[in-house]
Amino acid sequence: MFKRRIIGVLIGFGAIAAATNTAYADEPYIPLISKGFQHQFWQAVKSGAEQSAKEHNVKMTFEGPETEAMVDKQIDMLSAALSKKPQAIGIAALDSKAAIPLLKRAQNNKIPVIAFDSGVDSDIPLTTCATDNLAAAALAADKMAGAIGNAGEVGVIVHDQTSRTGIDRRDGFLNEMKSKHPNIKIVSVQYGGGDHLKSAEIAKAMIQANPNIKGIFGANEGSAEGAAIGIKESGKKLVLIGYDSGKEQKEDINSGLMYGAITQNPIGIGKCVVDSAVKALKGEKLPKKVDTGFYWYDKSNMSDPKIAAVLYD
């Protein structure tokens, strides 16, 4: 009698577990593989993705390598995520070509791919949720030109030369200077991996090698903050223009160390990825790209509600 009761209890637990597993299986799993995790920008993207996941009742995970120079680690994370057979996947590629073989595998397994922040050189992603980085960097170039009197020497510090964001922000800035501001000379373009300390050393070396330099453009949060550290330690007064937001950049703008910066809409980017993945799972057609917008901000407009809404700590 006692043995039968135990068997009955175990069968009951088995039924509950089976029901739970079925319910879990019915909840779509959408992993997001980011370019990094350390910058406040990525935390804001994650926050937007979490909001959308809650609204749509899907399971979302968000991970990225410790630094934006770790392409191999990101590829490993993408491979591991695909091995879990997700219903859809989001990717902000560190290398716009290296991720393609794995994304082809996802496509062959009918797993919708949504690119975000940084696209890939392929038509595999159904859409890309991103800033128009060419246009945003061109605006940064125009602001730099205005600040230095439309003539002089300028340096550029970019996070990488392999991701779509690194390439587009570099080229958007350089092309705008060449076409609209021919009296401004770009004396150096360097790559700091988005790392504050490395970018700081690059900025100091750039200033030392070019004593007449008037300004530096830092093409992402780590590049801009590193440049700010380097300029401060060099003791030289330059026009520094950044990209992204975050507590340190806002403090530097308020103090006058940084002239201004381009802010993206990271929460909007995160929401767009999960929203797009859910639409894909429903069979809805997606645009090839969703422009999530950008804004110029400086000391004069940081308190504007429209600007404040897309700045993040």
Q: Evaluate whether residue 246 is within a structural domain.
A: yes
SS3 214: strand
CA 242, CA 249: separation in Å to the nearest integer? Answer: 8
For residue 194, what is the DSSP state? Answer: T
Q: Evaluate whether residue 104 is within a structural domain.
A: yes
pLDDT of residue 47: 95
Question: Are 77 and 225 in the same domain?
Answer: no
Question: Are 188 and 45 in the same domain?
Answer: no
Quote the domain boundaries for residue 275: 28-131+266-293
CA 77, CA 33: separation in Å to the nearest integer? Answer: 7
CA 156, CA 148: separation in Å to the nearest integer? Answer: 15
CA 232, CA 239: separation in Å to the nearest integer? Answer: 12
Mean pLDDT in order along the chain per 10 residues (313 residues): 41 39 64 91 95 97 94 97 98 94 97 94 95 97 98 98 95 98 98 96 98 98 97 97 94 97 96 98 97 96 93 83
pLDDT of residue 108: 97
pLDDT of residue 38: 77
**DSSP readout, 63-92?**
E--SSTT-HHHHHHHHHHHHHT--S-EEE-
For residue 284, what is the DSSP state? Answer: -
* Angle value at C-alpha 18, between 17 and 24, nearest 5 degrees: 90
Q: Which of 121, 38, 51, 49 lies closest to 89, judged by CA?
A: 49
For residue 170, what is the DSSP state? Answer: H
| Reported pTM | 0.84
pLDDT of residue 261: 98
Alpha-carbon Rg for the chain, nearest whole angstrom, is: 23
Question: Are 153 and 202 in the same domain?
Answer: yes
* CATH number, position 75: 3.40.50.2300
Q: Evaluate whether residue 17 is within a structural domain.
A: no
Q: What is the number of structural domains in the chain?
A: 2
* Angle value at C-alpha 259, between 174 and 116, nearest 5 degrees: 55
Question: Are 38 and 63 in the same domain?
Answer: yes
CA 69, CA 134: separation in Å to the nearest integer? Answer: 22
Question: Are 211 and 67 in the same domain?
Answer: no
As given in the structure block, the two tokens for residue 116 are 């975000």
